[in-house]
Amino acid sequence: DTGVSQNPRHKITKRGQNVTFRCDPISEHNRLYWYRQTLGQGPEFLTYFQNEAQLEKSRLLSDRFSAERPKGSFSTLEIQRTEQGDSAMYLCASSVGGLGNTEAFFGQGTRLTVV
Amino acid sequence: AQKVTQAQTEISVVEKEDATLDCVYETRDTTYYLFWYKQPPSGELVFLIRRNSFDEQNEISGRYSWNFQKSTSSFNFTITASQVVDSAVYFCALSDPYGGATNKLIFGTGTLLAVQP
């Protein structure tokens, strides 16, 4: 399977715990995005990497959130001290760079439930 | 500011009928891209079509067709002869390639298409 891969698919955690999600993009894609999707809403942009550089972060990304892409390949998204409001689907997408704005390919997401 | 509005929360059609999904967008930019994505129950967003702001020619791709009208800022999507497997949430999205060069997508709230057998 050469698509975008996300792990885990589901995560249930207690409020206050830390969680980490992983995204493996399509191998030749240098752009990587994280989005968050709550029930009944469209995905909302969280952050963007070009290779290993994190070039943009949304105001939705509070101090409890951190994302990395250490070698320009896979990426991790960590949420510290989780809150019930963090419950959502976290989607990762990748694309090829360039102003031609080629389409982004999405993974199946990680569904987080904070209890 | 950029915004995408999908006024239809849910539409229901019977198999083999056509289904048209509406999308209205707002942007101050003259160069932008519009997309349609499909999200089946499995959760993965599947890319369907892309259009740039300079190309208003409407096209047909298999059972999919779209109607892009800059004058009304609309980018409607039609599935011809719908099938049960088309049942999913469909998202319209807008991207501004010059807005910080991130090419991030601004999504609408989605339209649930239910195709009844």
Q: How many CB atoms lie within 10 A of CB A95?
A: 22
Q: How many CB atoms lie within 10 A of CB B103?
A: 24
Cα B46 from chain centroid? 11
Q: Is the Cβ pair A44, B100 closer than 8 Å?
A: no
Q: What is the pLDDT of residues B25-40, one digit of tens each?
A: 999 888 888 999 999 9
pLDDT band at A96 (very low <50, low <70, confident <90, very high): confident
Return the H-helix or E-strand segment holding A92: strand A88-95
Q: What is the pLDDT of residues A13-56, one digit of tens each?
A: 999 999 999 999 999 898 999 999 999 999 999 999 999 999 88
Q: What is the pLDDT of residues B14-67, one digit of tens each?
A: 999 999 999 999 998 888 889 999 999 888 899 998 888 887 777 777 899 999
Asked whether B97 and A101 are in contact (CB, 8 A), the reply is: yes
Q: Give the integer Cα–Cα distance in Å for B68 and B72.
A: 9
> Which one of B103, B106, B111 would you mutate to disrupt binding with A, by most A Cβ within 10 Å of its Cβ?
B103
Tokens (6 digits) for A51: 């290779």
CA contacts within 13 A on the Cβ side of B15: 5
Q: Give the integer Cα–Cα distance in Å for B69 and B22.
A: 12
Prior bond of A8 cis (ω within 30°) = yes
> Which one of A4, A35, A103, A112 would you mutate to disrupt binding with B, by most B Cβ within 10 Å of its Cβ?
A103
